[in-house]
């Protein structure tokens, strides 16, 4: 397997970093640690540990190995490992890295779990829609056609869609497949434009902003704690955020730090987009020389804020989706029942 293609799940990556941190902290030489871990490893972990063993035997550093696996270890992780090896604090940094990775996984899980319910409702709705169009409507439409009655517009639309789906199943699903493939192609070619449109939506915009602040603050805390210069740390953290606007603010602030100004001054220029609380905490950290600690406080605070925002979004989405699905399903059933009720009324009058 090519090193560029090797990937690990979150739990496997956490286990690897955690095992290295624990065994190195116990005073075991790194080659012994790698040999020990190789005995029980498999898949991607085995590949990484095998390459690490070969590199260590050749006198190379751990960060050199990690940089060969970009799908497993990002630039922030590689830079932190490099700085810690130069400072001789690899075991301590690996422990910090494990904690940061654990928080990142928990953070991602919160975002993912908030999306499960809406996706589940949409899938169920589509399944019910297909069942009605393929199973129920064809049988009802045969009765209506035999009776030769005048049908309301919603019923005729439903019968047309059902007929289209049943008689041209291959073409319909082929068209949907082409539409999906075209959408994926467009997304890959114009990913930034599509993502920016999604991120600019009213409620989503606030959530993405909080997620960006959390990721930026957590990464900057880790990089500064490992001893990286602030300019190098800011260059790396501009890649961990989602929105281009946030990345531009970080890069502009880095340029201002290069010019001898404070980091908080760069962020203050974007006050309104960047929360005042974040700027205040950064200023306090710069005055006391504990900017890394301030960034940790910021990440923990906004992690909590993201959790609350997700809860609010989920609480709003649940009833809205149920109402929308209920209206659609109810409308379809009404389109089926209404003509039947009309026929029964006519029979009753005769």
Q: Among residues 225, 183, 237, 208, which one has the least CA distance to residue 302?
A: 208
pLDDT at residue 90, rounded to an integer: 82
pLDDT at residue 106, rounded to an integer: 81
Total residue length of the chain = 350
Taking the C-alpha atoms of residue 333 and residue 321, their distance in angstroms, rounded to an integer, is: 18
pLDDT at residue 178, rounded to an integer: 87
Of 92-96, 166-170, 250-254, 342-346, the one with minimum mean pLDDT is 342-346
| Sign of the torsion formed by the C-alpha atoms of 170, 173, 179 and 181 | negative
* Fold adopted by 109-350: Receptor-associated Protein (1.20.81)
Q: Do 339 and 152 meet the contact criterion of CB atoms below 8 Å apart?
A: yes
Of 29-43, 128-142, 245-259, the one with minimum mean pLDDT is 128-142
pTM of the predicted model as reported, rounded to 2 decimal places: 0.72
Taking the C-alpha atoms of residue 251 and residue 322, their distance in angstroms, rounded to an integer, is: 43
For residue 187, pLDDT over 70 is answered with: no
Residue 79 burial by CB count (10 A; 0-12/13-18/19+): exposed, middle or buried?
Answer: buried
DSSP 281-337: HHHHHHHHT-HHHHHHHHHHHHHHHHHHHHHHHHHHHHHHHHHHHHHHHHHHHHHHH
Mean pLDDT (whole number) for 166-186: 80
Residue that the structure tokens 């281009």 belong to: 244
pLDDT at residue 170, rounded to an integer: 79
What 8-state DSSP symbol labels residue 274? B
- Count of CB atoms within 10 A of residue 188's CB? 9
CATH of 3-102, one of 1.10.287.3510, 1.20.81.30, 3.40.250.10, 3.30.70.1290: 1.20.81.30
Residues of the chain with CATH 1.20.81.30: 3-102, 109-350
Dihedral of the alpha carbons of 268, 232, 246, 6, in degrees to the nearest 10: -160
Which structure tokens are listed for 208? 């993405």
Q: Among residues 70, 61, 83, 59, which one has the least CA distance to residue 5?
A: 70
For residue 77, pLDDT over 70 is answered with: yes
Of 213-222, 267-276, 327-336, the one with minimum mean pLDDT is 327-336
Taking the C-alpha atoms of residue 87 and residue 290, their distance in angstroms, rounded to an integer, is: 19
Which structure tokens are listed for 198? 């999604």
pLDDT at residue 74, rounded to an integer: 84
Query: What φ, ψ does residue 290 adopt, rounded to 5°?
Result: -125, 50
Helix (H, G, I), strand (E, B) or coil at 110: helix
Residue that the structure tokens 């809860």 belong to: 311
What 8-state DSSP symbol labels residue 340? H
């Amino acid at each position: 397997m090519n090193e560029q293609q090797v990937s690990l799940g979150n739990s496997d990556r956490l286990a690897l970093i955690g095992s290295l941190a624990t065994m190195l902290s116990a005073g075991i030489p790194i080659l012994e640690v790698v040999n020990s871990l190789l005995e029980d490893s498999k898949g991607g972990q085995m590949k990484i540990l095998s390459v690490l063993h070969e590199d260590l035997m050749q006198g190379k550093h751990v960060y050199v190995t990690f940089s060969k696996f970009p799908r497993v270890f990002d630039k922030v992780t590689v830079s932190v490992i490099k700085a810690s090896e130069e400072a001789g604090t690899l075991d301590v940094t690996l422990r910090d890295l494990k904690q940061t990775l654990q928080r990142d996984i928990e953070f991602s899980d919160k975002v993912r779990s908030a999306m499960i319910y809406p996706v589940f409702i949409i899938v169920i709705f589509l399944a019910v829609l297909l069942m009605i169009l393929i199973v129920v409507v064809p049988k009802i439409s045969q009765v209506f056609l035999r009776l030769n009655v005048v049908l309301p517009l919603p019923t005729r639309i439903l019968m047309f869609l059902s007929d289209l789906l049943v008689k041209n199943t291959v073409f319909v699903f082929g068209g949907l497949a082409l539409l999906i493939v075209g959408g994926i192609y467009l997304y890959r070619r114009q990913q930034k434009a599509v993502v920016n449109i999604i991120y600019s939506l009213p409620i989503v915009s606030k959530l993405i902003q909080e997620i960006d602040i959390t990721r930026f603050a957590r990464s900057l805390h880790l990089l500064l704690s490992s001893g990286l210069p602030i300019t190098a740390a800011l260059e790396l953290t501009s890649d961990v955020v989602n929105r281009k606007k946030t990345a531009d603010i970080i890069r502009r602030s880095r340029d201002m730090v290069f010019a001898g100004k404070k980091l908080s001054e760069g962020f203050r220029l974007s006050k309104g987009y960047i929360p005042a609380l974040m700027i205040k905490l950064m200023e306090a950290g710069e005055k006391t020389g504990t900017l890394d600690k301030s960034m940790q406080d910021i990440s923990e605070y906004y992690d909590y804020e993201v959790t609350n925002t997700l809860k609010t979004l989920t609480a709003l989405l649940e009833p809205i989706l149920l109402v929308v699905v209920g209206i659609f399903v109810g409308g379809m059933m009404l389109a089926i029942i209404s003509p039947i009720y009309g026929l029964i009324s006519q029979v009753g009058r005769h």
